Amino acid sequence: MRAVALLPAAGVGSRFGADVPKQYVRLAGKTVLEHTVDVLLADERIAAVAVVVSPDDAFAATLPLPDRVRCYAVGGSSRAESVRNGLAALLADGTAAADTPVLVHDAARCCLPPDALARLLAHADAPHGALLAVPLADTLKRADARGDIETTVPRERLWQAQTPQLFQAALLQRALSGGLDGITDEASAVERLGLRPRLVMGDSRNIKLTRPEDADLARALLGN
Ligand SMILES: Nc1ccn([C@@H]2O[C@H](COP(=O)(O)OP(=O)(O)OP(=O)(O)O)[C@@H](O)[C@H]2O)c(=O)n1
Ligand SMILES: C[C@](O)(CO)[C@H](O)COP(=O)(O)O
């Protein structure tokens, strides 16, 4: 099996608040994007990495990215739109065919453990696709409008979705061809088709850099 990885990397990182988009922040000797690319290319089942950047991106071209990485300046106004545009570009230039497994992974998840990636790739034949996720570890509260607790939500069978999320290119394209409102990950688009992607055990170290304090955690996980 030879999969193609698709990395949405067209966000601005407003919650992270650095002076460059968070995928270009340097941690442990390299940018976040380079760490993410390296962990994916270390698995020989990944044939190519497609990075979706913003049309006015000025950073990606300055990085020493490996040959098997190609940047597509087709980022959209939401993550889902960036993924949809990137997938269309991959299919148009022949990097992926309809039956190619496409693994979508947030550029901002630079600490993906290789064994979690391997667990997901072992499910490449799941008929409705598969994604890394972790069962909820904390008690879950729903707030009222004032910020007081309205109720405690039973956490039984609740999982937190991570990336990568792996789907056959044609299925993903079909799933993203509808409206993108409320689509916060690829699995939710596939669920909307009435299908049930498989949950594969992720890893709590697979953090998504979101807020400034996540940088310390990522540095510790990356070993510097
Ligand atoms: N229009 C967008 C928005 C996000 N992303 C990418 O999707 C991933 C996850 O999104 P998120 O963490 O929300 O990134 P940002 O949108 O950059 O962050 P923020 O919402 O804080 O601005 C990131 O790799 C980000 O670059 C993207 O490709 N295109
Ligand atoms: C796709 C994702 O990483 C799964 O947890 C998440 O939904 C992205 O959310 P964001 O608000 O776009 O960072």
CATH of the domain at 139: 3.90.550.10
Low-confidence ranges of the chain (pLDDT < 70): 224
Parent domain of 140: 3-222
Question: Which residues have CB under 8 Å from 82's CB, separation 6+?
Answer: 8, 9, 10, 11, 52, 74, 75, 76
**Position in ligand 1 atom list of the atom nearest CA 11:** 17
pLDDT at 1: 74
pLDDT at 224: 60
The number of distinct structural domains making up the chain is 1
Residue 18 Cβ inside 6 Å of ligand 1? The answer reads no
CA-closest residue to ligand 2 atom 13: 210
ipTM for the whole complex: 0.98
Beta partners for residue 161, in sequence order: 133
Which ligand places an atom closest to the C-alpha of 22? 1
pTM given for the model: 0.97
Question: What is the Å distance from ligand 1's center to 106 Cα?
Answer: 8
pLDDT at 66: 96
